[in-house]
Copies of this chain bind each other. A is one copy, B any other.
């Protein structure tokens, strides 16, 4: 039996216009057995950072061998490169504009081979006469489908040094200033949860220390919970989100609305040193 690869899709195309369906029709024409899985097509238009975060959250759930097609591409048709990147056993396909910042900066589990990358410049794997405005259909979708069908990476174009790929100039991890950790809201989700760039270990420490608290929007948040329903109604709390990060939430409500917060807002973790002193 031929192996069936998962092919994840992420874009800012929305679901109204039919652009996503067109990409899928192109892919299934080339790779009829590929299993397509939508990650999101509701990334805000041209929001590369939002696309990068969402991909960063999702890619680990796709098994090794999956292809992840990502098209948030305001530079379509310009000199920005179109690339396929193998990292952590998955293949990432899309424009070289920072979308792959999170998997590129992930130090991995130690088991990873070095990333490899090509520029998608071999027209044999494109649709004939590609447009200058819809590389999702004309270049990325067919290349992703060929990769999912087993075409080797090196066939698709010339080698690119992964170190030259664009990374977003955003802080992926908090910085320490004395006793304070300065972090940021990395994503506001559909429920209004504020997901920060505070990683699993620091989150566990903050949850464990009674004196630790979070500052956001001139508000101190010291309530914490192991899960949403353990929190008080209507009051912001912090917890460990399913990715391991520290998130700020309101039970049965929206932390974003309650706090007037948005992506990029500064979040500080304070009191950890006091807490440790108190131990």
Q: Which residues of A contact B (CB under 8 A)?
A: 4, 6, 8, 10, 13-22, 24-26, 28-29, 32, 35, 37-43, 45-46, 54-55, 57-58, 61-63, 66, 74-78, 80, 131-134, 137-138, 187, 189-191, 226-230, 239-242, 247, 251-252
Contact = CB atoms under 8 A, between A and B. Distances in A.
A190 B38 CA distance: 18
A146 to B, nearest CB: 16
Total identical chains: 3
Given A226-B77, A229-B77, A241-B133, A37 B16 contact: no
Nearest to A22: B61
B240 A61 contact: no
Contact of A40 (B15, B132, B230, B247): B15
Contacts of A63: 25, 29
B17 A54 contact: yes
5 contacts: A15-B42, A17-B40, A45-B190, A46-B252, A78-B227
A61 B189 contact: no
Contact of A76 (B16, B29, B228): B228
B190 A17 contact: yes
A61 B26 contact: yes
Given A16-B190, A242-B134, A78 B46 contact: no
